[in-house]
Amino acid sequence: MMQNDSLVAAVDLGSNSFHMLIARVSDGQVQVVDRMKEMVRLAGGLQSDGSLAEDAMDRGVACLTRFGQRVSGMPPGSVRIVGTNTLRAAKNGAEFIKRGEKAIGHPIEIIAGREEARLVYLGVSRSEIPIDGDRLVVDIGGGSTELILGKGITPFKMESVPIGCVALMRDFFADGVFDAARMDHAKTRAELELSPYKMAYLKAGWTQAIGSSGTARSLATVIKANDWGEGAITAEGLAKVQSAVLKAGSLSALKLPGLSDDRKPVFVGGLIAMQAVFAALNIRQMFVSDGALREGLVFDWLDRDDHDDIRIATIRRLQRLFTVDVRHADRVAKTAADLLAQVAPNWGLDCHPESIDAPRYAVWLDIAARLHEIGLAVSHSGFHHHGAYILSYADMPGLTRPAQMIIASLVHTHRRKFKLQRFGEVDERLREQIVRLSAVLRLAVLLHRDRSPRPNLSRVRLEAGADNLHVSFPDGWLKTRPLTRVDLELEQSYLAMANIRLSFA
């Protein structure tokens, strides 16, 4: 849990703009100390091959260098930086992250779409007056639109749809010319992206619709400045904005009261996305919140215990969906935790929960242990391959994208040949430790091969050296378990593939 009177920073690397919020947390309250924002338009630099153009990366790194000066005195673990849609999609996103971390001096996480949606909802719900009933939150960013239904501060339906203001401008209005046919075409495309989700959202319903982030704020400001509404966004107000855009005919001629110069290059893309959302979800009126992803990051710090609950809910949902043997998974997880505690000091696998960015080896191992058999729902043959694939692409709220890939790699390597290339998606700075973590999981799974409900493993001991493991069993234990002995002998050859020498007695 965060210490009282802590100074923290939350940085949102959006597809259109980068935002930084610095806040002081005291007695459970958040006091904003400073804000910084730069229009980077990262999504505009996505090339046809899926990579980020060099000039877009340079803009982002230059911004992070300036942000870095502001947080240079803040200790490790007090700055949380997350990348969203464009960095999720970019083939060379890892290269940007490496350069960006050097520029700002703190680690960067890539979060999945539904995790982004969860954090957006948290930022909005904690910034607004509570209401009776459910709330719809719409966050139109540069590369994606998050749709979230929730009650109180808890979201219960989250989707990330690949439509955004920068992407729509790039795909339909790259030459800066606006006409009715093009705008209709862009709106149709956006509505098609929304169509798989509309019926579920309309069926659920909501009491209040709220828009978050720059697109919603800029539209509301323009509507009010031109006397087309009272500050909220309505379908009528959006139609009047569209008429003004068509009258201007081009980006260079577009001049509207309330429209800032920095928002102008992506304004029409945001208008199209918002009109599509209004049409798909039959929205009549949308209010605008000051809360967004960066506020959600800060509140997520405050709610660290709740964050653990979200991870637990994610695990249980996947266990139900893929009919995992939960009792067996619990036994494997307990043994894995016991073994990890014995080798953590010697193998550099200790956890430091007080730091937001510290490796969470125990958490990752626990999740992998509870989901290691998830692939059995597909096929017993090669189920570790199926499990890794599922976990690589599943929506897992409460986990960052890098953490998800670590868990997938642990599941992929928990049995059979120990191939180091299966750790290729793991950050190279953590790779050695994750390989060691996998060795611990392998032994935990091996010791439960007979699936006994009373495995009697309390006196099993595991010792670790620089490149070796030794398992000690109580006298006579292995004599009564010949299958385990054979498995351990085979495991010696498997772990040798990772240059780990296994011995047992």
Is the pLDDT score of 410 beyond 50? Answer: yes
- Nearest residue to 143 (alpha-carbon basis) of 120, 164, 159: 164
Is the pLDDT score of 239 beyond 60? Answer: yes
Task: Provide the pLDDT confidence category of residue 330 given band limits of 50, 70 and 90.
Answer: very high
| The pair of three-digit structure tokens given for residue 294, joined into one six-digit string | 């960066």
Pairing of strands 461-464, 468-472: antiparallel
| The pair of three-digit structure tokens given for residue 351, joined into one six-digit string | 């956890």
Tell me the whole-structure pTM to 2 decimals. Answer: 0.74
Is the pLDDT score of 504 beyond 90? Answer: yes
pLDDT number for residue 354: 47
pLDDT (mean) for 352-378: 84
Q: Is 40:60 a contact under the CB 8 Å cutoff?
A: yes
- Dump pLDDT digits (tens) for 179-198: 999 999 999 999 999 999 99
Task: Provide the pLDDT confidence category of residue 395 given band limits of 50, 70 and 90.
Answer: confident
Is the pLDDT score of 367 beyond 80? Answer: yes
Dihedrals phi, psi of 160, to nearest 5 degrees: -120, 115
Is the pLDDT score of 359 beyond 80? Answer: no
Domains located in the chain, CATH noted: 6-111 (3.30.420.40), 114-293 (3.30.420.150), 303-504 (1.10.3210.10)
Pairing of strands 17-26, 108-110: unpaired
- Dump pLDDT digits (tens) for 136-152: 999 999 989 999 999 99
Is residue 173 classed as helix, strand or coil in its secondary structure?
Answer: coil
Task: Provide the pLDDT confidence category of residue 353 given band limits of 50, 70 and 90.
Answer: low
pLDDT number for residue 30: 79
Other Cβ atoms within 10 Å of 282 Cβ, number: 10
